[in-house]
Amino acid sequence: MPSTLPALDGIRVLDFSTVGPGSRCTRILADYGATVVKVGVPPKKAGLQTQPAFWAYSANRGFRQVRLDLKDGAAKAAFFRLAENADVILESFRPGVVDRLGVGFENVRKVNPRIVYCSTSGYGQNGPASKWAGHDINYLAVGGYLACTEPGPGGKPPIPGATIADSTAGGMQAAMAIMAALLRREKTGEGEYLDVSVAEGVLTLMSLYIDQHLATGVEPGPRHDVLTGRYAYYDTYVCADGKWVAVGAIEPQFFSNLCKALGCEQWLPHQNDDSRQEQMRADFAAAFQRKTRDEWATELASADACLSPVHEIRELVHDPQFRARGAFVEAKHESEGTFSQLAPVLAGQNRADEPIVAGDASKSDTEALLQEAGLGMDEIDRLRERGAIA
> Using one digit for the tens of pLDDT, what is the confidence trace for 135-171?
999 999 999 999 999 999 999 999 999 999 999 999 9
Active site residue 333: no
Rounded average pLDDT over 294-320: 96
Counted domains in the chain? 2
CB under 8 Å to 117, separation ≥6 — which residues? Answer: 88, 89, 91, 104, 105, 108, 109, 191, 192, 193, 194
59 lies in some domain: yes
> Using one digit for the tens of pLDDT, what is the confidence trace for 57-104?
999 898 999 999 999 999 999 999 999 999 999 999 999 999 999 999
121 lies in some domain: yes
Segments forming the whole domain that contains residue 253: 226-238+244-309
Give residue 54's identity as a one-letter amino acid code. Answer: F
The answer on 126 and 159 residing in a single domain is yes
The answer on 256 and 143 residing in a single domain is no
* CATH (domain of 265): 3.30.1540.10
The answer on 72 and 118 residing in a single domain is yes
pLDDT at 198 exceeding the cut of 90: yes
The answer on 284 and 167 residing in a single domain is no
Rounded distance between C-alpha atoms, residue 309 and residue 322, angstroms: 14
Active site residue 311: no
The answer on 365 and 259 residing in a single domain is no
130-157 b/e with 16+ CB inside 10 Å = b? beeebebbbbbbbbbbbbbbeeeeeeeb
Which member of 15, 31, 69, 166 is catalytic? 166
Phi, psi of 117, deg, nearest 5: -110, 115
323 lies in some domain: no
Rounded average pLDDT over 186-214: 98
pLDDT at 43 exceeding the cut of 90: no
Domain boundary among 255, 287, 309: 309
pLDDT at 46 exceeding the cut of 70: no
The answer on 145 and 294 residing in a single domain is no
pLDDT at res. 362: 80
198 lies in some domain: yes
pLDDT at res. 48: 54
